[in-house]
Amino acid sequence: MPASPTTSPPLDSASLPDQSPNQSDNKPSRPNRPKPNRLKLTYDIVMMIIISIDLLLISIDAILMSNFSAHIAGWLTIGEALSWYQNTLHDPLRTAGGFFTIFLIVELFLRWMIAIKERAYYRWFFFPFVHWYEVLGCFPQLRALRLFRAVVIGRRLYQLGYQVLPQPWINRIKFYIDLLLEELSDRVILTTIQNFRQELTDPEAHKSFIESTISRNRDEIEAVLLYLLRTELTPKLQELTAASGGGSILAAEVGNAIEEGLANTPELRRYLRMIPIAGSLIESQLQHVGHNIGENVVYALNQRLLDPKLLDSLMVAIARGVAQINTDNTALDTLISSIIEDSLTEFEAQVKVQQWKHQDMLNL
């Protein structure tokens, strides 16, 4: 058996001048766990072997004492050998198993006392809770839990760098553990999704869910709406103040509308034509002036109404008003129901994907 990994001697405090003397005071105190040594590792290995042999004998004895073994022995014409085992070896094995159980109880109690002496845990009564599988494994009906101790010992040796099992076996065990946990968790999640869908079919529960969701997130809804209005709508509106683009188009259309309105006013044309010589000239100039007035009015309104401060306060008012929307709205219920259903469907489809099939460990 290779020796356990040795620990380097502690450094002299004088060689570390940069460390603060109060550095250890700032860290929370940890339990003083004993470091692994050769004797402890040897004891763990021996206990793992003994427990494995004990569990193997218990399994073989349970199989040979079952009715299934009696039928198989009768079919194979080895009933006399089975009867000899049941009458000769069964009772001594049970007696040996009882003594081994007593040994485990005493060994567990001694380890508890050692843990209390070495302050391995924060409280003295933590030991039986941490080693619950060993405590329950002392009962004859729960002897199968002793396998957990063998597994724990093997895992501890593996963490210390000792190859307890071949690496392909470890990879296979990890793969099937991940497979089992994934399938179990998928079933739980899918059942939860189905139950949630069933609850949403109740109109009262559905309405209560929407009201509580929107009420809890009104501030977030207002913040998102305000962000969208400031980044999407505000720049579009501010383009109207420019002399080119949307602003010039709107101003030209308003000017054309005023010019057309003046041209289609028969009273104005009749009065202007009463003025000799200059009447037609005044009419054309008046229409041109009306066109310019319309454009100037649009530019003036844009500059006043689309002022950055005024526009931002308007966006804030709009976002706050939308965030305070009444949840008793059929269209809103339909929209939120559709979003929830789509989200659950996509989530359910993702859960149904068996991730273990896409791992590179399939060539086990």
Q: What's the domain range around 315?
A: 212-325
In this structure, the answer to whether residues 103 and 123 fall within a common structural domain is yes
Residue 342 lies in a domain: yes
Are 36 and 73 contained in the same domain?
A: yes
| Residue at 243 is within a domain | yes
Q: Is residue 15 part of a domain?
A: no
45 inside domain: yes
pLDDT tens digit string along 19-77?
444 444 444 444 444 455 677 778 778 888 888 888 888 888 888 888 888 788 778 77
- Give yes or no: residues 142 and 238 share one domain: no
Count H helices and E strands in the chain, helices first.
17, 0
Q: Same domain, yes or no, for 139 and 257? A: no
Do 59 and 159 share a domain, yes or no?
A: yes
pLDDT of residue 242: 57
Q: In the numeric block, which tokens belong to residue 300?
A: 């003036």
Shared-domain flag, residues 107 and 82? yes
Same domain, residue pair 131 and 241: no
Residues 182 and 305 in one domain: no
Residue 50 lies in a domain: yes
In angstroms, what CA-CA distances link 357 with 35, 182, 302, 307, 362? 41, 11, 62, 60, 7
Residue (of 150, 120, 145) closest to 135 by Cα position = 145
Q: Does residue 246 belong to any structural domain of this protein?
A: yes
Count of domains in the chain?
Answer: 3
108 vs 264 pLDDT, higher one = 108
**What Å distances lie between residue 257 and 199, 273, 293, CA to CA?**
59, 22, 11
Do 251 and 219 belong to one domain?
yes
pLDDT in tens, 228-258: 888 888 787 777 665 555 567 777 778 788 8
Domain annotation covers residue 295:
yes
What does pLDDT average to over the chain? 76
Q: Is the dihedral of CA 308, 313, 316, 321 positive or negative?
A: negative
- 219: Cβ–Cβ under 8 A, 6 or more apart, which residues? 323
Provide the sign of the torsion angle of the four alpha carbons 9, 15, 18, 20, taken in this order: positive
Q: Does residue 183 surpass a pLDDT of 80?
A: yes
Q: How sure is the predictor about 144, in pLDDT bands with cuts at 50, 70 and 90?
A: confident
Q: So what's the pLDDT on residue 13? A: 39
Of 71-80, 120-129, 145-154, give the range with the top mean pLDDT: 120-129
Give the separation between CA 195 and CA 187, rounded to whole angstroms. Answer: 12
Question: Is 10 a member of any domain?
Answer: no
Do 77 and 106 share a domain, yes or no? yes
